[in-house]
Amino acid sequence: MHHQWLLLATCFWVIFMFMVASKFITLTFKDPDAYSAKQEFLFLTAAPDAGRSLRETHFPEELKLTGNRLPGGRLVQPLVYMQRLELVRNVCREDTLRNLSHTAVSKFVLDRIFVCDKHEILFCQTPKVGNTQWKKVLIVLNGAFPSIEEIPESVVHDHEKNGLPRLSSFSDAEIQKRLKTYFKFFIVRDPFERLISAFKDKFVHNPRFEPWYRHEIAPGIIRKYRRNRTETRGIQFEDFVRYLGDPNHRWLDLQFGDHIIHWVTYVELCAPCEIKYSVIGHHETLEDDAPHILKEAGIDHLVSYPTIPPGITAYNRTKVEHYFLGISKRDIRRLYARFEGDFKLFGYQKPDFLLN
């Protein structure tokens, strides 16, 4: 009888210890402060939980799953997208880069962010990175046109007709609400390749409906930055590089107004250290990133990103070398000094082949 009571007591002790251990484990998993920022993973929901509009939830490294969904149906981002967000957070914390990574969330920034209230989406415009197609996606989602194919090209950038409100058009309280709760994204590409694209589009192929780039902005750049005053050709890429790399470029920027959006930094456009974006897409991997963004925003069943011609988004080092050929190292280094924040925030390799 004594042995039976002893065995029973032992069983109760084991059960008691198991319950204590289980409780400790549960509390440990629920404590977000037990893990560093580097161990957190960002999950985006395809549809908000009941009573909750925020799409972002942080989970520690130990809870990372190998599948595509968490219990409850929430989507888990592939590692590359988490790494991009983590890189931005880390660079934003570097004091030595603060002047190149931080900016005020001014009206200039809010003017760049387009709103889709129906699906709670904010899109920050970064020109020369395939933004026209993303605008078309939002135009359809807002109900202005039934499909992307039916949107006239003349309407896409006409903000009186395209049905795309800017975040700056809302009250301060409404702005803050949307910044805190909406799905937010933007797209980047290699900073130097983007500048080449901007130069070609605005000063070489210059569309007829934007004559001011060739007839007003180009002459202003030439007057200040052309070294050979006897040169009579139109603006050259070398003139453009000197303008952008000049630490005192802002006085010309003020004269040019909002036209500078095609070549200012991503930091100046979208304030990535001040606004917590849900996804950062890369132009170079847009074939994968576009479907991912649509899926994470919960709209992949409503609209598709237009077909991307094979190879069109790939980085072209040969083109970059061609455009920078003959430009002095001093001018290229000054240009890099201005765009260094963009290179580091978004993981683009420093172009040593141009700098050294």
What is the residue type of 307?
T
By C-alpha distance, which of 42, 44, 40, 41 is closest to 294?
A: 44
* Cα-based distances in Å from 88 to 101, 178, 181: 9, 21, 20
DSSP letter (8 states) at residue 312: T
Two tokens, residue 236: 């050259």
- The helix or strand, by DSSP H or E, that contains position 275, with its residue range, turns out to be none
Give counts: helices (H), strands (E), the chain: 17, 7
Q: Tell me: pLDDT of 298 over 50.
A: yes
Predicted confidence (pLDDT) at residue 47 exceeds the cutoff of 70: no
pLDDT band at 316 (very low <50, low <70, confident <90, very high): very high
- What would the pLDDT profile of 131-180 be if each residue is shown by its tens digit? 999 999 999 999 888 889 999 888 888 877 888 999 999 999 999 999 99
Read off the pLDDT of each residue in 50-74 and give the average, rounded to a whole number: 36
Q: How sure is the predictor about 15, in pLDDT bands with cuts at 50, 70 and 90?
A: low
3-state secondary structure of 101: helix
- pLDDT level of residue 9 (50, 70, 90 thresholds): low
Q: Is the overall model pTM greater than 0.95, yes or no?
A: no
Task: Label residue 100 by pLDDT band (50, 70, 90).
Answer: very high
Phi-psi region of 271 (alpha: psi -120 to 50; beta: other; left: phi over 0): left
**Averaged pLDDT score across all residues of the chain:** 82
| Angle between helical axes of 218-225 and 237-245 (0-180°, round to 10) | 70
Residues present in the chain in total: 356
CA dist 46 to 37, 74, 83, Å?
A: 24, 7, 20
Q: Are 130 and 187 in contact (CB under 8 A)?
A: yes
Residue 188: strand pairing partners: 282
Each residue of 71-93: pLDDT tens digit? Answer: 444 455 789 999 999 999 999 99
Share of the chain above pLDDT 70, in %: 78
Cα 339 from Cα 341, distance rounded (Å) = 5
3-state SS, residue 280: strand
Which of the four pLDDT bands, split at 50, 70 and 90, describes residue 251? confident
- In the sheet that 121-124 helps form, which strands lie side by side, from edge to edge? 113-116, 121-124, 183-188, 279-282
Sketch the domain layout of the chain as residue ranges: 76-191+265-297, 193-263+317-339
